[in-house]
Amino acid sequence: MSIPSDRRQFLSIGAAAIPAILASRTFAAPTPKSSAETAVKGLFESLTDEQRKIICFDWNHKDKSRGLLRTHISNNWQITKPTILGDFYTKKQQDLIHEIFKGMINPQWYPKFLKQLKEDTGGKPWGSEQSIAIFGTPVSGKFEFVMTGRHMTLRADGNTEDHVAFGGPIFYGHASQSFNEKPGHPGNVFWNQAVLANKVFEMIDPKDQKRALVEVRPDESAVSFRGPKGIYTGISVRELASDQQKVLQETLNGLIDPFRKEDQTEALACLNHQGGLKSCHLSYYKEGNLTEGLWDNWRLEGPSFVWYFRGTPHVHVWVNVADSPEVQLNAQG
């Protein structure tokens, strides 16, 4: 995989080679002037008072069942009732929301996300079953935009929450062709991430493969941080050979690839702040395995980094990345 030159400095697998720029947190994280955030501001300014009453919330708004609403994450939920397409938003507002969506993802992944959303909503176009909310005040202070739907929770916050990547925990998934996908997940836009992770497993010697294998997979929403003293399953990345670590680094690049470059950079910086990939463990789960010769369910986890790929009965991926394990999770499966 070709890596842009402005990202190579962040891809060191260990903490020793972390650039000094990381210590000052002055790397290229999203800002209020990033494309998605600029569109959020435009959308906010265009809303009527009646619209704001329904989709805009105070920064620390708490929902009775979901807790702090701007940090909640689930695999299939609507953060507010109005869908993007329909009568609630004007055409101009719908276009702005679409601009925000495109600004949060890697342009090369735009058609793949459209395919995922269409297949996960029974063939409906983008925006038909997705909803949004805005927290805080984009024009003058802290703010966060959240988009939700089936197999999607994405955020844009201009680095308002500067200790977390992606604006907070995110979720993506896909059920291509059927709810119970076939072995090998034909048509699934995210399956290649598992293929990359399994290349690492194939390189590990049989003795260490046994250590990397875990009998029972955790609950899919169990992606809170364990910290540097936590008890981890699987095999420590530190124990992998250099060629195996290199392939795992390629896997990590594949994991962050669907998202905009600024979020990619911040995620890598958060990981390196806690020791890089060498601080992580890699687990493959026997439970629920579907594809012969490959592990459908696996997890890469460090002190404040969790990327949990649940591949059965279809793909669910839970992501929680920060520069500190003190950041709390607000997830519900």
Based on the domain organization, do 182 and 144 belong to the same domain?
no
H, E, C per residue of 205-216: CHHHHHHHEECC
User: Is the pLDDT at 78 greater than 60, yes or no?
Assistant: yes
* Total of domains in the chain: 2
Q: Is 119 helix (H, G, I), strand (E, B) or coil?
A: helix
Q: Note whether residue 252 is domain-resident.
A: yes
Identify whether the C-beta of residue 45 lies closer than 8 Å to the C-beta of residue 139. yes
How many residues in the chain? 333
Q: Note whether residue 297 is domain-resident.
A: yes
In terms of residue numbers, what domain contains 42?
35-161
Q: How many percent of the chain have pLDDT more than 70?
A: 92
What is the C-alpha separation between 257 and 272, in angstroms, rounded? 17
Q: Note whether residue 25 is domain-resident.
A: no
Nearest to 22 by CA among 323, 244, 260, 296: 323
User: Is the pLDDT at 280 greater than 70, yes or no?
Assistant: yes
pLDDT, residue 149, reads: 98
Angle between helix 242-256 and helix 261-273 axes, rounded to 10 deg: 140
pLDDT, residue 28, reads: 74
Based on the domain organization, do 128 and 201 belong to the same domain?
no
User: Is the pLDDT at 15 greater than 70, yes or no?
Assistant: no
| pTM reported for the whole predicted model | 0.92
What is the C-alpha separation between 194 and 310, in angstroms, rounded? 10
Identify whether the C-beta of residue 285 lies closer than 8 Å to the C-beta of residue 217. yes
Based on the domain organization, do 155 and 193 belong to the same domain?
no
Domain C-terminal end among 101, 135, 161: 161
Identify whether the C-beta of residue 93 lies closer than 8 Å to the C-beta of residue 46. yes
What is the C-alpha separation between 169 and 166, in angstroms, rounded? 7
Based on the domain organization, do 189 and 155 belong to the same domain?
no
pLDDT, residue 27, reads: 55
Please give the backbone phi and psi of residue 252, each rounded to the nearest 5 degrees, phi first: -60, -45
What is the C-alpha separation between 175 and 205, in angstroms, rounded? 33
pLDDT digits (tens, 9 = 90+) for 167-216: 999 999 999 999 999 999 999 999 999 999 999 999 999 999 999 999 99
Q: Note whether residue 17 is domain-resident.
A: no
Distance of CA 44 to the CA centre of its chain: 24
pLDDT, residue 139, reads: 84
Based on the domain organization, do 324 and 204 belong to the same domain?
yes
